[in-house]
Structure 1
Amino acid sequence: MNLETLQKFKFERVLNEDPASHSTTVLGGFPLQDGTGISPAILRIEKLSLPSGVAENPRAIVNDFSLTESTDVYSWGLGWLKPTLERPDVKINIIHPATEVHIRKYSAQELRMVHETAELYERITKPYMDAFPPSRIQWVYDILSGKSEAEKVLFKDPSPESGFVILPDMKWDLITMSTLYLVAIVLTQDIRCLRDLRKHHLGMLRNIRSQATKVVQEKWGLADGSLRFYVHYQPSYYHFHVHIVHVKYVGTMGSTVGQAHLLDDIISLLELDSDDGPSVLERMTFTYALGEQHGLYKGMLAAQAGLDA
C-alpha cells in the first residue's frame, strides 16, 4: 500500500467518529484490478500525539497561529504545525479486503452490559467460538510461523506449549512512548480465551510479564512498573494474547473495565486455584459490554432475563 493506491480509495460512509481518540473510521473500497467493481475496505485515520518538540521549541514546530479570544491573562487560538517527513500527523490503519464482520466491528454501536455464567459460556459463547473458521485468524498463524512481521518481533519463546512472541501492536505509531502498545501472542492453539487458562499456564503468563518488562527496559529504557498488562474478554479474536501498554496509555474501549482484565489479577486467581477440578476461570461469571453488532449480542442479551428470574 502506498500513497498512489490510497488516493484511489472510494468513500462510501462514515462508520464511527471518536473524539476521545481523535479518530475517524470510514467504509469505502479500492477498484478491482480488472475494473469490474470495488473491493470493500476500511480506513481508520487517527491524529497522532503532539511531538515533544512542541514543548521544547514551539517556534520551530508551529507554522501559523490565529487568535480566537483573549481575556485578562488568558488567550487561546488555533495553530498549524509545520509539515515534516520526520513527524507524521496521522496514523492510517487499512483493512482490505474488509468483510461484513470487520464492518460491524468498526461501526458505532450501542453497548449493553451482560453477565456470562459458566452455563451460558457452554451454551452460547463456546459454540459461537467453535463456528469461527481458522481462516479468520490466518494472519495470527502467519505471525507465529514467521511468514509475516518477522522483522517486528521483539522476543520469541519457541516452546510449542508455553512459547509466545512479543511485537508492536498495529495501534502504536512506534514513536510516542506514552502510547506504547505491544502484544504477546501464544504459540499454542489450545488457549482461545481467558476461560481456557489453567494453573499449569502460570509459568507462561509470568514469563510474558517478565520478558516484556525486560524488552522495554533494554530497548526504550522504561523502568520496571511502566507497563500495564491486560487480557480482553470478549477478545477481538479467539487466540490467546496479552495486551501490553504504557502505564500512561489512555485510549480505546479495550482498556476499560468490562473488557480488560489485568494479567496480574489473572495470575493471582490461578495461584489461588485448586490443582484439580475445573479452574476458577471456568466457573466464574464474567460481566462485560457487548456491542449490538457483535455476533453474541442477541443470544446473550436474550439469556439475561433468565438470570434475573
Structure 2
Amino acid sequence: MNPNQQAYNDILQRIRAMEKQLQADIAYFMQNLTKDAPIYAAQHKKLMPASLSDMFEQTTKTFKATARDTQDVYYDETPDNQLKTAYYQNISFDATNDELLGNIKHLVANTHKNQLPYSQSKKELHSRVDLHEDGKARSIYSGKSLERDYLIAQDLFYEAAVRKELTKYDTLRAVNAQTMTPLDSILAALSLNVEHVIPQSWFDKASPMVGDLHHLFTCEMNCNSFRSNIPYYDFEDYNPSAAKEMIRNDCGKRDGEERFEPQNGKGAVARATMYFLIRYPDKLPKERIRLIDMAMLYKWHQENPVTVYEKRRNWLIHQLQGNRNPFIDYPDTANILL
C-alpha cells in the first residue's frame, strides 16, 4: 500500500474511532439550541466540551448561516415551469426515440456547468435540497423523518474533525485520480446520512458522479449500510412480515448480497437512476450496467408519479448545478430508455 493510501486509511480509521465523542458533541450542541442559539453558544463557549474547543467557533458561524436560512415558499411551480421551458427550448419531443435520447444526453451533460464537490453537495442536500414540506428531511428508503438542524450540525462537526486530521498530512494527495479531494474522499467513505442511488463503488467514487445531487438522497446510516452497494430488485413476496434477517427497520428487503428492494422512494430512485444513465453513459463497467433492471425501474417510475418534493429538488439542483432531470420534467420520455 502506498503512503498516500495509508494516510487516507489512517485518517478514516481515526474519525471512525472518535464517532462516539462526535455524536456526544453534536447532541450537546443541539440540546443548547434556542432561537438565539448561535449567540447563546458564542457567549457560553467556555461551557462547551473541551473536544469542541478548536472547531466550535467556525461551526457555530456556519450553523447560523445555514440552519436558519429558510424559504417562505416551499415550491413555486410558475417560475420553475419558466425555467423548464427555457431549458428544453431546443429539444424536439417529436423526434424518434434514438434522436431524442441523444439530444437529451447532450443537453444534460453540457448544462452540468457547476460540478459540485461531495462536501458541498452534502451540505446543500441536508440544508435545503432534500427537505419536505414540513421542513424535515426523510430517509429515502424508510421514510423516517430526520431533523434538518441535526443533519446540518452533524455534517459540520464531522467535516471540522476531518479537516483537523488532514492538517497532519501536508502532502496528502487525492486518493481518487479523478480530482476527488482528500476531504471529499473521507467524507464520502463515512456516508453520513447520504445515499448514492448508484453506489459509489460502482464508479470508484469518481467526480463528478460522487457529488451529483440528482442521485443523492438523505438516508439514515442504518438503511444506507443495509442497502450497501446491492442493486435494486422487486421481490414478488415482499411484505413487512417477512423474515427478520431480510428486513431492517422499514429500510426494505435484502436477499443476501445480490438484491435489495426499498420500502419507500421507488419512484424517486428509479428516476434518479435513469438520470445517471443518460448523464454518465460510459462511466459504469458493463458488469454493473447488467445489474440495472430497466424494465423494473420503468415500472416503479409509472407506479409512483413525480411528487412536489421531486419537482422542488429538480428546481433547486438546476440552480446549483445547471442541469435538470428530464424524467421528472417529462415523465413520458422515460420509454426512450427501454
TM-score calculated relative to the size of structure 2 = 0.27
- Please state which structure has a larger fraction of its residues in strand: 1
- Please state which structure has a larger fraction of its residues in helix: 2
Q: Of the two, which has the highest radius of gyration?
A: 1
TM-score calculated relative to the size of structure 1 = 0.29
Larger RCO, structures 1/2 (Cα 8 Å, 6+ apart): 2
